[in-house]
Amino acid sequence: MSQLFSDMTLGPLKLSNRLVIAPMCQYSADHGRATDWHQMHIGNLAMSGAATVILEATAVSPEGRITPGCLGLWDDQTQQALVRPLQFARQHSDAKLLIQLAHAGRKASCAVPWESGRQLDPEQGGWQTVSASNLPFADTDRAPETLDGASIKQVCEEFKASTRRASQLGLDGVEIHAAHGYLLHQFLSPLSNKRTDEYGGSLENRMRLVLEVFKEVRSEAPPHMTVGVRISACDWVDGGWSLDESVSLCERLQQLGCDFIDVSSGGLSASQKIPLGPGYQLSLAHTIRQKTGVTTMAVGLITDPFQAEQALVSGQADMIAIARAALYEPRWGWHAAARLGAKLKAPPQYWRGAPAGHSDLFLK
């Protein structure tokens, strides 16, 4: 029996398989509000064959957006705009829908990727960014403002408030974004955190904000919601955030009730040297799973079903998350099930689409 298409539990959630659609920014929101694009996009991915779909990085405040086109969940308007896309997806799929809550920190206020991706000046629609310290991400960026104690507390409250809204929307879980060089990662890494107060210096201090945010989110999420964290397991820069530090962070998060760790890497420094290749982050997920026992999602250039299957069989991860592969082939899960000899659910309108030799692919 295929491991990729075997059932499992993720905290309180019962899943029909171990395939996850990872969060992917779409840069198509209207002042944080979901649009028709999101209805199509979320509905499409909900029929991918994955048992779990995680919505794109969703800002907990307007200032937390990467771009002016990023999705948000900070007020009644942004919450209401998500109702229709979520209802549409649920009408046609029983995939569990999670949301990734995020704050971009110093990597905020940027143009969308197809319009340069560079940081926007205020006259271009940009805004003042914030971070652990006043160090810009790129030499051409404006320096971010250093968050003080009151502002740090506000960030925690924003994550908590967005979690409350996610619960009201009926979402099945929250993934806290502490990866890819965004605000929480900026506090973790000694490359971006030069503070001398209780949020800087030692590993314990640099982990403090992530742990505080997790506590707020976990306390606000009802028992039926799963809560996890996406981390960059290392910065791929000498002297940066390390895999050993990630293991320590995951141990602390697990003690606080973290249901899963989504293991990515990099994104904090332009000096990073990432050894790109098929499954290049699997070893990071494996180490974290092996040393902590926490339920682990692996992601990163996993594009072949047999590659995904082997990662699970060999114990490198508990779940496999795909991203860009699902943009190119929105039915990736269907193809994977056919190749691995598994079965999965699909809308009856599409049952006739099963390829020759796989007439029993869909559960009826």
Task: List residues with catalytic annotation.
Answer: 182
Contact 194, 131 (CB under 8 A): no
Of 175, 267, 262, 264, nearest to 214 by C-alpha is 175
54: its two tokens: 């995680």
Q: What spatial distance separates the first Cα and last Cα of the chain, rounded to whole Å?
A: 19
CA–CA distance, 41 with 318 (Å, rounded to integer)? 26
CA–CA distance, 183 with 177 (Å, rounded to integer)? 9
CA 291 to chain centre: 22
Contact 72, 78 (CB under 8 A): yes
Q: How many CB atoms lie within 10 A of CB 81?
A: 20
CA–CA distance, 351 with 167 (Å, rounded to integer)? 33
Q: How many CB atoms lie within 10 A of CB 156?
A: 17
CA–CA distance, 342 with 179 (Å, rounded to integer)? 33
The residues near 208 (Cβ < 8 Å, ≥ 6 apart) are: 187, 198, 199
Contact 85, 73 (CB under 8 A): no
Start-end of H helices in 195-234: 203-220
Beta strand 13-15 pairing with 8-10: antiparallel
CA 49 to chain centre: 19
Residue 100 main-chain phi, psi, to 5 deg: -95, 115
CA–CA distance, 233 with 80 (Å, rounded to integer)? 34
Length of the chain: 364
